[in-house]
Amino acid sequence: MSLKEEFIFDFAVKMPRILVSGNAAVLDNIQKVVLISGDQIIINSGKRFTAVAGRNLEIRELADQRMYIEGEIDEIRFYGTSQED
């Protein structure tokens, strides 16, 4: 698969996707926010859940199935649901 094909495929898949840089993260393909606290944020992406854990976590922006988080990020976990395809 060429780099261009791989790039297009990555954006076509409706799975959780996260980009982390320093003390910030951008999460894509968000359907619902399940939990918000200062040390954990959990989101539902339909077939998967994504948990971001750390300290002083804040949602700075939430729009168009995308979330921008700031804080000291220690851990990111992806969980499946019992309704896997």
Q: 45-58 pLDDT, tens per residue? A: 888 899 999 999 99
* CA atoms within a 13 Å half-sphere pointing along the CA-CB vector of 46: 10
* Cα 55 from Cα 81, distance rounded (Å): 26
Q: Is the pLDDT of residue 43 over 90?
A: yes
Q: 18-39 pLDDT, tens per residue? A: 889 989 999 988 999 999 999 9
Q: CA-based Rg of the chain, rounded to a whole angstrom?
A: 13
pTM of the model: 0.78
